[in-house]
Amino acid sequence: MQKYDVSIIPCDSYDSQEVKSALLSLLSPIGGLDWVKEGMNIVIKANLVTFAHPDEAVTTHPSLICALIEMLCERGAKVIVGDSPGGLYNAAFLNRVYSVCGLGAVEAAGGELNHDFGHSEAHFEDAKVAHDFTYTAYLDKADAIINFCKLKTHGMMGMSAAAKNMFGAIPGTMKPEYHFRYPNSADFARMIVDIDEYFAPKIKLCIADAIIGMEGNGPTKGTPRKIGCILASENPHKLDLVCAKLIGLSSDEIPTLGAARERGLIPESIDELKLFGDLDSLIVPDYQNIAVKNSLLFDNRSKLFGKIAKLALEAKPTLKSKKCKGCEKCKQICPAQAIKMVKNKPQIDRSKCIKCFCCQEFCPFGAMDVHRPLLAKILTKQKGK
């Protein structure tokens, strides 16, 4: 039987019966769950980036998580669901995230929520940039990890899917430190792929919740958008290559795909993948994306051209003043300390701003937006013709 690189299956709703049936159909072409053995400890690494109701399309939907838990428990596995959102990594904070994200149903499905808030240290000889990093210790308990992401736009990386989801292995309050350590988008992408590769021996499966995705001002304050499918692969980068195509982005617009291609983890073209399912019928032609022009980030042939292109094409966080409530969250989370409050509104010091988009990602009111220069918008439109 032929084994596929990526599987994609239509799924119209989060109805429990529909998603379980879709998951069964999805996994069979990539080998199913035959690797699951009785007594295994399996961690489902979900996207639980912040306090958000499932209908907001910010986090992995609990209906999908619970359906997968039931399938794993039927094979005798022990299942833990976890993540480290952007905030304190402790019981009080995570319990609130679990509750708001609708994960109270996890235990009824046979799984458990992570309550180990310890840290572990990694040393990774094969890393490109992140040779040493701190990660959430509950992942050490896993015999296998299932990377269960949500397909969304992302201010800094263009798209949040499987590769970006493993950044959740970094404890929440440490995330701004990693943004400051790797302020260049290309290096930040390399860091993410380093984390993916460090955990690769344990990651047996990657699944993307693309039933309802997020477009526009993602990954937390964009607009829910129906895509109507779920995707799976054993490889996060191959999965992301298909996710990008699904929402109208090229691989040149996703820095993590550029970093993966550098290492030979994905082919030059999506056409080289063995794909199960009718991708073309599921593509959303008018998806509202944030293109970041990854091809320029990874082209070091001309330093002068790189500087000019950066000025002409690079996006930056911008305040929507009417939405701002003066809560100071952006100031508190900014790793470069580039934000000060002036008359109860944030003011960004552009000379300090590292364009990590932490302010945009974690603003609770969506007051920070991604501003793209006019030339970048024109080039994106020309590319789409």
pLDDT score for 304: 46
CATH number of the domain that 325 lies in?
3.30.70.20
Which of 282, 309, 344 is the last residue in one of the domains? Answer: 282
91 in a structural domain: yes
Assess whether 253 and 155 both reside in one domain: yes
CATH number of the domain that 50 lies in?
3.40.50.11440
pLDDT score for 218: 95
315 in a structural domain: yes
Per-residue pLDDT of the chain (385 residues; tens, 9 = 90+): 678 999 999 999 999 999 999 999 999 999 999 999 999 999 999 999 999 999 999 999 999 999 999 999 999 999 999 999 988 999 999 999 999 999 999 999 999 999 999 999 999 999 999 999 999 999 999 999 999 999 999 999 999 999 999 999 999 999 999 999 998 889 999 999 999 999 999 999 999 999 999 999 999 999 999 999 999 999 999 999 999 999 999 998 999 999 999 999 999 999 999 999 999 999 999 999 986 656 555 655 555 445 555 555 577 899 999 999 999 999 999 999 999 999 999 999 999 999 899 999 999 999 999 876 655 555 555 444 4
Which of 250, 282, 314 is the last residue in one of the domains? Answer: 282
345 in a structural domain: yes
Which of 254, 282, 310 is the last residue in one of the domains? Answer: 282
Assess whether 35 and 85 both reside in one domain: yes
Assess whether 58 and 150 both reside in one domain: yes
Assess whether 46 and 148 both reside in one domain: yes
34 in a structural domain: yes
249 in a structural domain: yes
Assess whether 26 and 161 both reside in one domain: yes
152 in a structural domain: yes
Report the DSSP pairing between strands 144-154 and 203-215.
Answer: parallel
290 in a structural domain: no
Assess whether 268 and 361 both reside in one domain: no
Assess whether 221 and 361 both reside in one domain: no
Assess whether 245 and 375 both reside in one domain: no
Assess whether 219 and 112 both reside in one domain: yes
Assess whether 248 and 314 both reside in one domain: no
pTM, rounded to two decimals: 0.91
pLDDT score for 293: 57
pLDDT score for 381: 53
pLDDT score for 184: 87
12 in a structural domain: yes
Assess whether 274 and 305 both reside in one domain: no
Number of separate domains in the chain: 2
Residue 101's domain comprises 6-282
Assess whether 194 and 224 both reside in one domain: yes
